[in-house]
Chains A and B, each alone.
Chain A
Amino acid sequence: AQSVTQLDSQVPVFEEAPVELRCNYSSSVSVYLFWYVQYPNQGLQLLLKYLSGSTLVKGINGFEAEFNKSQTSFHLRKPSVHISDTAEYFCAVTGGSGTYKYIFGTGTRLKVLA
């Protein structure tokens, strides 16, 4: 069975500092990986996704993530955060034949401090 672990429930960081939000997954098959952002009172919005090819994936709003198969990780990074990046971030995985499920992590709340 597939699973996703987001170990950090909350990450406070000062404005203009770099940030990394961690995501680890478990799966016995090839996977597709996603990062979504959820702003207060809004729906989830896709930041970026890894399907295949280059392990470094660039997304919207200056975010990027690196797929590491040996460590089964897909950590999200941004070199310099803004106040407006304050939101909840979710990692998700899907993959394998015969399944339509997307498995989401429990989320990481990013709080950017002035």
Chain B
Amino acid sequence: GAGVSQSPRYKVAKRGQDVALRCDPISGHVSLFWYQQALGQGPEFLTYFQNEAQLDKSGLPSDRFFAERPEGSVSTLKIQRTQQEDSAVYLCASKKSRDRGETQYFGPGTRLLVL
């Protein structure tokens, strides 16, 4: 079956532009995560959805970052007024249930470069 997909795969934005990153999780997966991975670093948690409910957004770096999952499937991470420090790979992951031991399946990521 299809895995987690993300689009676009690459995005170049000028400083100050707004961007929207899309995640298509595996069909039927309840849990969805967004991570930010800076160059040479591990993924850092941004936010977590259980179906359409955003249960944890404590990792979002500022109020310029906003995520939604309105119908409990596709999710969008929006970054307003992008800054150079937002340059990173943004990873999406989904898992079948809310069980913490359940395996997360990761998408290939969106590489964002802010100039």
A residues near B (Cβ < 8 Å) are 4, 6, 32, 36, 41-46, 49, 51, 90, 92, 94-95, 99-107
- Whether a CB of chain A sits under 8 angstroms from the CB of B33 is yes
Interface size class of B (residues with CB under 8 A): 20 to 34
In contact, A44 and B56 (Cβ under 8 angstroms) = no
How many angstroms between the C-alpha atoms of A99 and B58 in the bound complex?
10
In contact, B43 and A32 (Cβ under 8 angstroms) = no
The residues of B that contact A106 with a CB separation of less than 8 Å are: 40-42
B residues near A (Cβ < 8 Å) are 3-4, 31, 33, 35, 40-45, 48, 50, 55-56, 58-59, 91, 93, 100-101, 103-109
Shortest CB distance A65–B (Å): 15
User: Which of B31, B59, B91, B108 is in CB contact (< 8 Å) with A101?
Assistant: B59
The residues of A that contact B48 with a CB separation of less than 8 Å are: 100-101
Q: Which residue of B has the minimal Cβ distance to A46? A: B103
The residues of B that contact A43 with a CB separation of less than 8 Å are: 3-4, 91, 105-109
In contact, A104 and B56 (Cβ under 8 angstroms) = no
In contact, A104 and B55 (Cβ under 8 angstroms) = no
